[in-house]
Amino acid sequence: MLKNSQFLFIFFLFSFITNGNSQILKKYRDSTDGAIDLSHFLKDLNGVLPIVSPITEPAVGFGAAVAGLYFIAKEENKDKTYQTPDIASLAGGYTENGTWFVGGGYVGFWKNDHLRYRGAIGYGDVNLTYYRPEGSLIPKKSEEFNITGFLFLQQATMRIKNSNFFVGGKYQLTHVNVNFLKDAELPDIDPKDFEMWNSGLSLITEFENYNNVFSPTKGMRIHLSYDQNLEILGSDRDWGTLNFFGTSFFPINKTWIAGFRVASRAATGDTPFYAKPYIELRGIPAMRYQGDITATIETEQLVNLTSRWSVVGFGGIGNTYNKRNDYKAEELVWNAGGGFRYMLARIFGLKMGLDVARGPEDWAVYVVFGSSWLK
């Protein structure tokens, strides 16, 4: 499965460029305003939709992913509203720094959204950079490394009666191999991290009252989970992470939507270096700022210019804390940026767009499908 799936963005551009004056494009126009709209695919599509998607994660460089997606439509609810479709996928991708992956997945919204399911299986060969944390024996130094791994994931959450509360669990199995690309001084990394089986269970609790699961404009989501890898389940050692995030959206008026996100993660036990929490903000590469604990705050302000087009501005800060420094706050990092959104599927309230972000070191570009905070 692609994180922050970007497939429909490219399909939209392809359709617009190649079929701009054809009868085919009429199928993708909304009868209410004549605008390009892909509600048809989410509601009625039968068969596989082939797509090409950009990869814009600064940690691995620019690249592309190719996928086949199958939307499984649902019947209308009794009040004539549409149910979120299930999505099955097969995908593969490659980036400019030699990173590649293949995999498949399924996302399901079952029993009128009372049961939510995610399943994935895949293999990746990823080239990344490891940055030593503050307080390291060799501070302010980075090393390039390659990580290959197999992933198998099964997750399900269940709505408690007709409330907005969910509980559930996850099982995740990975096998990881790490190779640093040159002779490196690594006094702060356990050599046992270089080849590991990780097998563990998660307990998940959530509250969600979004008005839209893809591109919410009102409501909040609060998530708390604990992941524990266990030797009795086949893991090479016991370790875990405690995960929390909360997102909320408030309509200030008919055109202005204010969004806020807080997040924190904490490592427990003998966590391998590649699995330690890192600050997740647009404009900051993955794993750039790692710690035993991370804390992040971000805001996103969206203004609707028309019924289809919107502009967005965002900014945030984050910090890391390490036990070697007695959990004192380390370097404070920030991000800022802006972008646009287009209402891609009106009947589902689904938007897509493009963001340009600046972090402490560099600029980055992101294609966004749904909410940029979609997890």
pLDDT in tens, 170-224: 999 999 999 998 776 676 788 899 999 999 999 999 999 999 888 999 999 999 9
In a domain, 34, yes or no: yes
Please report, to the nearest 10 degrees, the dihedral formed by the alpha carbons of residues 207, 211, 217, 219 taken in order: -30
Q: Mark out the alpha helices in the chain (DSSP H runs).
A: 7-18, 39-44
46 DSSP β-pair partners: none
pTM: 0.87
pLDDT (tens digit, 9 = 90+) per residue, 273-282?
999 999 999 9
pLDDT at 1: 36
* CATH number, domain containing residue 365: 2.40.160.50
Rg (CA), the chain: 21
- Give CA separation, 345 vs 48, 214, 245, in Å: 18, 10, 27
User: Looking at the 3D structure of the chain, how many domains does it have?
Assistant: 1
In a domain, 374, yes or no: no
CB-based contact 107:87 (threshold 8 Å):
yes
In a domain, 60, yes or no: yes
Q: Which pLDDT band holds residue 44 (cuts at 50, 70, 90)?
A: low
DSSP state of 83: P
pLDDT at 139: 53
- Burial (CB < 10 A; 0-12, 13-18, 19+), residue 80, is exposed
Mean pLDDT of 118-144: 81
- Burial (CB < 10 A; 0-12, 13-18, 19+), residue 158, is middle
pLDDT at 20: 45
In a domain, 16, yes or no: yes
pLDDT at 67: 86
Q: What percent of the chain has pLDDT over 90?
A: 60
* Phi-psi category of residue 230: left, alpha or beta, with phi > 0 → left and psi -120 to 50 → alpha: beta
In a domain, 35, yes or no: yes
Of the two residues 315 and 17, the one the predictor is more confident about is 315
Residue with tokens 């710690």: 291
Q: Whole domain around residue 14: which residue ranges? A: 7-369
